[in-house]
């Protein structure tokens, strides 16, 4: 055998062996959870999350505090004032002490939220890895309120095991954290559900669907003002077929020519995050749902085909008889916004009082899409502003 061919053969064999060792490690629940959540990759090691000014916010524009979950964890949170409102009250806000207040309800920022009957609150759930202050996230938080900088407040949390929050992440745990934030907004702050929206990005979309499903299926169902997902995926089993950890390490895509091996290894998945099933329940149980599925066409982390699939599931859940993919494509209504984006809408006559929209924007990738002006406008309009 030619020495070069022999060397290439053994190199490929070694890579293949390492890949299967990698898959074997992922079958371990502890390794698997760390690969999904990447919560140990904090990114903001050298920054102080209790000093949001380090992340580009104005002095006391953000109030850092902790929420107590019903199962005993402490979840770190930021309340972000919209910049226009902050500007109007800056003189009072800068007099507050820095850091975590003794009683968050007595902070000026929270008082401004509670005293405005027209205020809206976005509860934001971020993706995996990092913290509320990591990478693009502070920019997200400023952008999401940009279309109405006097009315849109943001509440964002670090899930258990992330950043300064206690505990260890799990599917049930993250949904509990999200529900804690919602119940705090509704029960403690007294905000009307119609003025609260959930906005999730990447992994946060799965948390969003999990929280929304829990709210609508509880003994006294709660419907929020809007459920908005950005860069959502259908479920972990389907995601791992195309997803690469950190955008670099592929999981099951190398096994695409061997479906039986993909099925074998996907059977070891512990945290399933079945957003497609939760969307189905959410649509069927809701009477006035406002669901917006947003995705960038050039998202190479989570392909926009996942968004297509979720819209199909949501549309099908509005009727008694199942529709084929072709029938859904024929019935949905399309509006073009030039090179920026297009919108698909399920007809109101078929949605039973619910509003189901899909937005596909041309640019933005997996992360920057949250910061785009178009996204800000879509979010504000969903909140009735």
Phi, psi of 148 (to 5 degrees): -150, 80
Tokens representing 111?
């008082």
Residue 267: Cβ within 10 Å count: 9
pLDDT of residue 333: 96
For the ranges 31-35, 151-155, 254-258, 285-289, which has the lowest average pLDDT? Answer: 254-258
Closest by CA position to 332, among listed 341, 181, 322, 316: 316
CA 16 to chain centre: 34
Q: Tell me which residue of 297, 286, 304, 302 sits closest to 356, measured CA to CA.
A: 286
What is the chain's mean pLDDT, rounded?
91
202: phi > 0 → left, psi -120 to 50 → alpha, else beta; which?
Answer: left
Domains and CATH numbers, the chain: 33-382 (3.40.50.1820)
> Distance between CA atoms of 356 and 317, rounded to whole angstroms?
11
Question: Whole-structure pTM over 0.85, yes or no?
Answer: yes
What are the backbone angles phi and psi of residue 49, rounded to the nearest 5°? -65, -20
pLDDT at 258: 62
Ranking 168-182, 254-268, 288-302 by mean pLDDT, the lowest is 254-268
Q: How far apart are CA 229 and CA 272, in angstroms?
A: 18
Cα–Cα nearest to 239, from 273, 209, 285: 273
CB 144 within 8 A of CB 199: yes
| Phi, psi of 254, rounded to the nearest 5 degrees | -65, -15
> CB atoms < 10 A from the CB of 277, how many?
15
Of the pLDDT bands very low, low, confident and very high (cuts 50, 70, 90), residue 4 is low
Q: Which two tokens stand for residue 200?
A: 């999730």
pLDDT in tens, 227-260: 999 999 999 988 887 776 655 666 666 666 667 6
At 112 the pLDDT is: 98
């Amino acid at each position: 055998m030619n020495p070069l061919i022999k060397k290439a053969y053994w190199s490929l064999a070694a890579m293949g062996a390492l890949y299967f060792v990698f898959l074997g490690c992922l079958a371990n629940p502890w390794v698997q959870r760390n690969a999904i959540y990447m919560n140990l990759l904090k990114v903001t090691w050298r920054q102080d999350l209790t000093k949001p000014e380090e992340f580009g916010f104005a002095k006391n524009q953000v109030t850092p505090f902790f929420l107590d979950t019903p199962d005993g964890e402490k979840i770190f949170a930021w309340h972000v004032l919209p910049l226009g409102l902050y500007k109007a009250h800056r003189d009072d806000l800068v007099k507050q002490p820095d850091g975590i207040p003794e009683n968050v309800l007595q902070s000026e920022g929270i008082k401004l939220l509670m005293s405005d009957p027209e205020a809206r609150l976005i509860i934001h759930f971020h993706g995996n890895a990092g913290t509320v202050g990591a990478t693009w996230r502070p920019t997200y938080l400023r952008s999401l309120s940009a279309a109405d900088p006097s009315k849109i407040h943001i509440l964002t949390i670090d899930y258990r095991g992330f950043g300064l929050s206690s505990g260890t992440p799990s599917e049930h745990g993250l949904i509990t954290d999200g529900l804690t934030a919602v119940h705090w907004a509704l029960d403690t702050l007294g905000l009307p559900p119609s003025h609260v929206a959930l906005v999730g990005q990447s992994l946060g979309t799965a948390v969003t669907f999990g929280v929304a499903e829990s709210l609508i299926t509880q003994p006294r169902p709660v419907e929020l003002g809007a459920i908005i997902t950005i860069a959502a995926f259908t479920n972990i089993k389907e995601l791992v077929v195309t997803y690469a950890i950190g955008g670099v390490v592929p999981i099951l895509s190398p096994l695409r020519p061997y479906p039986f091996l993909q099925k074998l290894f996907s059977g070891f998945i512990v945290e399933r995050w079945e957003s497609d099933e939760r969307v189905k329940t959410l649509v069927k149980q809701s009477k006035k749902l406002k669901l917006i599925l947003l995705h960038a066409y050039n998202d190479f982390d989570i392909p926009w085909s996942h968004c297509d699939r979720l819209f199909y599931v949501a549309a099908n859940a509005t009727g008694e008889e199942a529709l084929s993919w072709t029938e859904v494509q024929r019935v949905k209504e399309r509006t073009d916004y030039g090179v920026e984006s297009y919108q698909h809408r399920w007809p109101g006559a078929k949605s039973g009082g619910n509003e189901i929209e899909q937005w596909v924007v041309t640019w933005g990738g997996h992360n920057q899409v949250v910061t785009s002006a178009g996204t800000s406008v879509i979010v504000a309009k969903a909140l009735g502003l």
